């Protein structure tokens, strides 16, 4: 899969063009809500693929204007089973997955075309990363923050869950694949094996979350979690997302000891998400501009934001990283 795709701008290329540390976009659902979207839905931000696709493109443009070098698609919570539960057909669900990539590509292309009249701009042509959320994100029960999938979930079940979505997203032609908020070794293993079995040629990254700054949510050490990833040539970067900012520096240092892959971090705003109650707790207004330089100097090659971060967050990161 993906053999016919000519990768003219790899992950490594965009890092180099950005001066050694590329900027990833920020929180998607938060910005959708700012534009008036109603996302209190099991599909979360992916519900806008059905109801308000114009807002998705608008959010992508917001992040491009803020200086993002990489756009992540709105497919994090978009799954075939999830769409089926809404009464859509398999074909309709697959078209919506492809639409998530199409909207990001269209936003990127229109933004880049508009820059042609200002040749002295400081933007890079952004890459589009197709988001692949964890099994726990589909369950929408908070298990992507615990890694507790139960005894009946094994590596084959997880591969079966991810397989068709991965195939459809690859067919849509993104520049990158982003496996996000992975909570345990088992799912990381499933993702790597699936990329190998499908012979996916599109560069991928895998991001874990962490609740203690030491281990994966499952309690497994990152040494255990990264063993299979570090050996795979399908994975070009590994890191952390949706984790409080104050935990990130130590995790970057830990990952540097464990892998030679590029390290990507895009933490949340510092608030705490209660997955069962589905609400945010304990707002913590950290200074991302200050943190970004620390993370870069500690070894991160890609930096952005996750839940509750905004284009202003990404603009601050871009400003301090790119000067």
Domain boundaries, given as residue ranges, for the chain = 12-322
The pLDDT value recorded for residue 49 is: 95
The pLDDT value recorded for residue 225 is: 98
Answer yes or no: is 253 a known binding residue: no
The pLDDT value recorded for residue 240 is: 98
Cβ atoms within 10 Å of 51's Cβ, excluding its own: 13
Q: Is 66 helix (H, G, I), strand (E, B) or coil?
A: helix
Give the 3-state DSSP-derived string for 250-319, with helices as H, strands as E and coil as C. Answer: HHHHHHHHHCCCEEEEECCCCCEEECCCCEEECCCCCCHHHHHHHHHHHCCCEECCCCCCCHHHHHHHHH
Which residue, chain included where needed, has tokens 């990768």? 7
Answer yes or no: is 48 a known binding residue: no
The pLDDT value recorded for residue 270 is: 84
- pLDDT tens-digit profile, the chain (323 residues): 544 344 434 899 999 999 999 999 999 998 999 999 988 887 888 899 999 999 999 999 999 999 999 999 999 999 999 999 989 999 999 999 999 999 999 999 999 999 989 888 999 999 999 999 999 999 989 899 999 999 999 999 999 999 999 999 999 999 999 999 999 999 999 999 999 999 999 999 999 999 999 999 999 999 999 999 999 999 999 999 999 999 999 999 999 999 999 999 999 998 766 776 666 664 344 578 889 999 999 999 999 999 989 999 999 999 999 97
Query: Under a CB-based contact definition with an 8 Å cutoff, are residues 181 and 146 in contact?
Result: no
Vertex 128: Cα angle to 63 and 197 (nearest 5): 145
Please list the residues that pair with 269 across neighbouring strands: none
What's the burial of 10, exposed, middle or buried (CB within 10 Å: 0-12/13-18/19+)?
middle
On whether the 12-322 domain is CATH 3.20.20.330, my answer is yes
Element (H, E) at 129: strand 127-133
Q: Is 7 helix (H, G, I), strand (E, B) or coil?
A: coil
Please list the residues that pair with 133 across neighbouring strands: 180
Query: Under a CB-based contact definition with an 8 Å cutoff, are residues 267 and 305 in contact?
Result: yes
The pLDDT value recorded for residue 273 is: 66
What are the structure tokens assigned to 257, written together?
């000891």
Query: Under a CB-based contact definition with an 8 Å cutoff, are residues 133 and 241 in contact?
Result: no
In sequence order, what are the residues at sequence separation of 6 or more whose Cβ sits closer than 8 angstroms to the Cβ of residue 91? none
Give the 3-state DSSP-derived string for 151-188, with helices as H, strands as E and coil as C. Answer: CCCCHHHHHHHHHHHHHHHHHHCCCEEEEEEECCHHHH
């Amino acid at each position: 899969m993906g053999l016919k795709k000519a990768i003219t701008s790899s992950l490594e290329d965009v890092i180099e063009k950005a001066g050694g540390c590329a900027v990833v976009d920020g929180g998607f659902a938060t910005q959708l809500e700012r534009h008036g979207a109603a996302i209190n839905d099991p599909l979360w931000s992916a519900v806008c693929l059905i109801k308000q696709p114009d807002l998705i493109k608008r959010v992508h443009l917001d992040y491009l204007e803020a200086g993002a070098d990489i756009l992540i698609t709105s497919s994090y919570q978009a799954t075939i089973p999830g769409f089926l539960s809404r009464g859509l057909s398999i074909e309709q669900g697959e078209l919506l997955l492809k639409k998530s990539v199409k909207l990001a590509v269209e936003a990127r292309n229109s933004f880049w075309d508009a820059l042609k009249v200002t040749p002295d701009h400081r933007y890079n042509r952004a890459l589009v990363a197709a988001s692949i959320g964890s099994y726990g994100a589909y369950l929408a029960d908070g298990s992507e923050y615990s890694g507790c999938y139960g005894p009946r979930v094994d590596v084959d079940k997880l591969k079966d869950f991810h397989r068709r979505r991965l195939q459809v997203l690859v067919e849509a032609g993104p520049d990158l694949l982003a496996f996000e908020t992975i909570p345990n070794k088992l799912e990381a293993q499933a993702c790597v094996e699936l990329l190998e079995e499908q012979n996916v040629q599109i560069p991928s990254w895998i991001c874990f979350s962490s609740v203690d700054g030491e281990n994966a949510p499952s309690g497994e050490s990152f040494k255990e979690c990264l063993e299979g990833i570090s050996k795979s040539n399908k994975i070009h970067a590994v890191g952390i997302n949706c984790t409080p900012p104050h935990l990130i520096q130590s995790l970057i240092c830990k990952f540097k000891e464990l892998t030679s892959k590029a390290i990507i971090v895009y933490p949340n705003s510092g608030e705490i998400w209660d997955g069962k109650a589905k609400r945010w707790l304990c707002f913590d207004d950290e200074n991302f501009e200050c943190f970004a330089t620390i993370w870069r100097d500690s070894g991160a090659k890609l930096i952005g934001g996750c839940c509750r971060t905004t284009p202003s967050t990404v603009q601050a990161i871009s400003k301090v990283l790119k000067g």
